[in-house]
Amino acid sequence: MTSESPVVGVIMGSRSDWDTMAASADILRQFGVSFECRVVSAHRTPAWMAEYATEAESRGLKVIIAGAGGAAHLPGMIAAQTILPVLGVPVQSKALNGLDSLLSIVQMPSGVPVGTLAIGISGARNAGLLAVRILALNNPMLNQKLQHFQQQQTDAVLQDSELQLQDLPDGFV
């Protein structure tokens, strides 16, 4: 987190979700985006969850990244109480390997949008990147950082494509 007022809220249903949601925080930190992290349970602290959602915009937040596992109601319940973009990250669960989380977050009723990402760490990472893209629409410096990031990804893939066959391990396809 930076010393500036946070513009992104990274919230999760329980502390155990941090192993996944840390990937969002890492991306935001990489781009210099100010953020806050909170445990906000839709089931155990519903009043706190409602307060968080309804006050988020007035506190200066622009995007909320919400991760949850299992029943995974947090992203949808937050989206129902704010007009800010809410990015939902399904946290991988033990019972159904995250499929339950994914279905809970992605299947929202009309009028309550949640941008749902992939299950687990890659979803959390992409949620961070999507938050950066949203913020970059009105921030030329952030836009430039994002373009540089994408160019680095492209360059890395192109460099890998130039590997000679003899440089690859046996069985590499």
For residue 168, tell me if it sits in a domain: no
| Structural domain includes residue 171 | no
Q: How far apart are CA 165 and CA 128, in angstroms?
A: 35
Q: Is residue 169 part of a domain?
A: no
Tally of structural domains, the chain: 1
pLDDT at 157: 82
Residue 5 has pLDDT above 70, yes or no: yes
What digits encode the pLDDT tens for the residues 106-122?
Answer: 999 999 999 999 999 99
CA dist 163 and 158 (Å) reads 9
The residue to which tokens 């409602």 are assigned: 50
In terms of residue numbers, what domain contains 114? 8-158
Return the percent helix, strand and coil in the chain, to nearest 5: 45, 15, 40
Residue 148 lies in a domain: yes
More confident residue, 72 or 167: 72
What pLDDT is recorded for position 160? 75
Which uninterrupted H or E stretch holds 53? Answer: helix 46-55
pTM, entire model: 0.91
Q: Mean pLDDT over all residues of the chain?
A: 94
Answer whether residue 3 is part of any domain.
no
Q: How confident is the model at residue 163 (pLDDT cuts 50, 70, 90)?
A: low
- Whether 150 is in a domain gets the answer yes
Q: What is the CATH number of the domain that holds 118?
A: 3.40.50.1970
Say if 95 falls within a structural domain. yes
Residue 7 to residue 63: CA distance in whole angstroms: 7
Is the pLDDT at 93 greater than 60? The verdict is: yes
Q: Under a CB-based contact definition with an 8 Å cutoff, are residues 111 and 79 in contact?
A: no
- Taking residues 77-105, report their average pLDDT: 96
List 10's β-bridge partners, or say none: 37, 65
Q: Which residues contact 160 (CB under 8 A, 6 or more apart)?
A: none
- What pLDDT, in 10s, does the model give residues 13-53? 999 999 999 999 999 999 999 999 999 999 999 999 999 99
**What is the Rg, in whole angstroms, of the alpha carbon atoms belonging to the chain?**
18
For the chain, the maximum distance between any two Cα atoms, rounded to a whole number of angstroms, is 61
> Which among 169, 168, 149, 172 is positioned nearest to 26, based on CA atoms?
149
